[in-house]
Amino acid sequence: MSDTGPNGAATPLSNQPPELVLDVRGISKSFGALQVLSDISLKVARGETVCIVGPSGSGKSTLLRCINWLEAPDAGQVYLAGRQMGVRPGGALVMSDRELARMRTRIGMVFQHFALWPHLTVLQNVMEAPLHVQKRPAAEVRADAEALLDKVGLGDKKHVFPARLSGGQKQRVGIARALAIRPDLLLFDEPTSALDPELVGEVILVMRELARDGMTMVVVTHEMGFARDAATRVVFIDRGRVVETGTPQQFFSAPTTERARQFLQRYATTANGSAHAAGR
């Protein structure tokens, strides 16, 4: 993280190309006759914030779920920090659940509907995976979790159960939980789509902070405001294919494809309110 600036670009001091955290090579996925992803490739360097945008049902969420192998792609490979997901080194052997789980602990995931564990308090939610999957020492995990909850502004809610929280608070716990495993990569699956418009801002604020701190993030979102000024790169996906990819400036001010233009236009007219609110 030290050799990358806030926008993920390598600083002049470093001659080496920025380290690849995620390398998705030509993955495809079908559900029955429905081809959801076709030959998608995506490289994410350390410290980058890549926003994936596109119409509903275009395969964005499936792409995220293929990255951490919640869905196994039909074709293509996913490399996480140089190690292939789902397949044993050098072979075509499929990983066991346990091996897969070990790799997954390097990827934090934030879910659309929060997916907090309702039987655990906020603090326990954040500590659960570090304690019981990573088996790190309890004192260290607790100190970590408390610091993370302070960071997302929920230090005073640590002994509360998720059912007592607002959507925005739940999602901030979701982010703290994802950070607690000290991931190489954070995946956000439409983190603000299930929130009331007035609660979107507090979650976006936390995500901006993470982006600024140089966390490596892949964010599926409809919040164009966030994509515009927190992303290092925007990837536009439609009907399971990468249609266009570029810096936010390129993408939002001069999209090169007709489909992206149409998408942005539709957005400007239908979702201006919330996109604007989150753009602050």
Should residue 129 be labelled a site residue for other proteins when binding is judged by CB under 8 A? Answer: yes
Nearer to other proteins, 217 or 243 (CB): 217
Instruction: Tally Cβ neighbours within 10 Å of residue 253.
Output: 10
Distance of closest approach, residue 215 Cβ to other proteins, in angstroms: 17
Q: Which residues contact 140 (CB under 8 A, 6 or more apart)?
A: none
Instruction: Tell me how far apart the alpha carbons of residues 165 and 163 are, in angstroms, rounded to a whole number.
Output: 6
Beta strands at 185-189 and 107-110: parallel, antiparallel or unpaired: parallel
Task: Answer whether 180's CB lies under 8 Å from 130's CB.
Answer: yes
- One of 17, 89, 91, 97 touching other proteins (CB under 8 A): 97
Given a contact cutoff of 8 angstroms between Cβ atoms, the answer to whether 43 and 99 are in contact is no
Residue nearer to other proteins on the CB measure, 77 or 121: 121
Candidates 9-17, 20-28, 117-125, 207-215: pick the segment binding other proteins (CB under 8 A).
Answer: 117-125
Decide: is 266 part of the binding site for other proteins (CB under 8 A): no
Taking CB under 8 A as the criterion, the residue among 128, 144, 190, 223 binding other proteins is 128
Stretch touching other proteins by CB under 8 A, among 50-58, 113-121, 149-157, 251-259: 113-121
Which range binds other proteins by CB under 8 A, 116-124, 203-211, 214-222, 239-247? 116-124
Interactions with other proteins, residue window 10-49 (CB under 8 A): none
Residues 145-174 binding other proteins (CB under 8 A) are: 161, 163-164
- By CB under 8 A, tell whether 101 contacts other proteins: yes
> What residues contact residue 145 under an 8 Å CB cut-off, 6+ apart?
123, 126, 127, 130, 158, 176, 180
Q: In angstroms, give the least distance from the CB of 86 to other proteins.
A: 13
Smallest separation (angstroms) from other proteins to the CB of 154: 17
Residues in 51-90 that interact with other proteins by CB under 8 A: 68, 70
Residue matched to tokens 């495809």: 28
Is 89 or 119 the residue whose CB approaches other proteins more closely? 119
Neighbours of 148 (CB within 10 A): 22
Residues ≥6 apart with Cβ < 8 Å to 39? 26, 27, 28, 75, 76, 241
Q: Which of 111, 143, 104, 102 is nearest to 126 (CA)?
A: 143
Q: Which two tokens mark 94?
A: 């499929």
Nearer residue to other proteins within complex by CB, 111 or 252 = 111
Q: How far is CA 202 from CA 158, 169, 207, 252, 271, in A?
A: 18, 8, 9, 24, 18
Please report where in the chains the tokens 């075509």 appear, as a residue.
92
Where along the sequence are the contacts to other proteins (CB under 8 A)?
68, 70, 97-98, 100-102, 104-105, 107, 109, 111-120, 128-129, 132-134, 161, 163-164, 177, 181
